[in-house]
Amino acid sequence: MTITSHLSAASATADTDSIELVVLDMAGTTVIDDGIVEQAFERAARRVGLDRMRPLEESLQYVRDTMGQSKIEVFRHLTGGDEIAAHAANEAFEAAYAELIDEVGVDAIPGAAETIVALRSNGYRVALTTGFSPETRDAVLARLGWEVDAVLSPADAGRGRPAPDLVLAALIATGASSVASVIVVGDTTSDVRSGRNAGAGLVIGVMTGAHSREQLDAAGADLVLDSVRDLLALPQLAGR
């Protein structure tokens, strides 16, 4: 396990008893992406004509840069604020993603399912958050069969990442007592910034998804781990 640490004073002193909730991103953090998001975007772009509005590779780069953010917000940017076009593109994306998970399946990041079970067995609440719509999110979870304490999309919380809404909505949904009692884990800079903006007690980046260690560090991660399965080795989550 490789760890990069930039712990704040508050995070460094956090102990096991102070942590109540672990907020985990989905695609790239607990669920293998394998380029499915990009493939779904490319299918959607061709179907609704986004590839005629700007070069497809330019749009794909923006998708990579904004991984973790609400997909409708990404499409609003790419369509120049055209609300009708953005919603049409988002619907095409959701349909394409559903097709792809039917074609190639969906799998957990190695160790993710076991980590979720262990966290909940040790008395921590676990919430899953995502930039996907509730329909796409639920389709993925149905295939994985996971049990968690809350599952949230931007439609449930208000704004998508990097706003703090998903983290704060998870806190409210699970009854955690304070933002200091929350750990946020994700593979993108948007995940990290969302945790920082919410004031989470500990914000952790993982190396199984869209962004590099350097990017996660620069976004403000307290720790960068190789994978979500390394969470249980942290002293803050060693068990009660």
Domain parsing of the chain, residue ranges: 3-32+107-237, 36-104
Q: Which two tokens stand for residue 49?
A: 């004509």
pLDDT in the model for residue 6: 53
Structure tokens that stand for 142 in this block? 């149905």
Per the model's pLDDT, the better-predicted residue between 10 and 118 turns out to be 118
Residue 2's pLDDT band, with cuts at 50, 70 and 90, is low
CB 31 within 8 Å of CB 105: no
pLDDT tens-place string over residues 48-98: 998 888 898 899 889 888 887 788 888 999 999 899 999 999 999 989 988
Pairing status of strand 223-225 against strand 21-25: unpaired
- What long-range pairs does 158-162 form, CB within 8 A, spacing at least 24? 159/70, 160/69, 160/70, 160/72, 160/73, 160/131, 161/68, 161/69, 161/70, 161/131, 161/188, 161/190, 161/191, 161/193, 161/194, 162/68, 162/69, 162/189, 162/190, 162/193, 162/194, 162/197
At 119, the amino acid letter reads L
Report the predicted TM-score, pTM, of the whole model to 2 decimal places.
Answer: 0.83
In the chain, pLDDT over 90 holds for what percent of residues?
60
Query: Residue 185 pLDDT > 90, yes or no?
Result: yes
Whether the predicted pLDDT of 215 surpasses 80: yes
The CB density around residue 75, as the number of other CB atoms within 10 Å, is: 27
Q: How many CB atoms lie within 10 A of CB 129?
A: 31
The CATH H-level (homologous superfamily) assignment of domain 3-32+107-237 is HAD superfamily/HAD-like (3.40.50.1000)
pLDDT at 102 over 80: yes
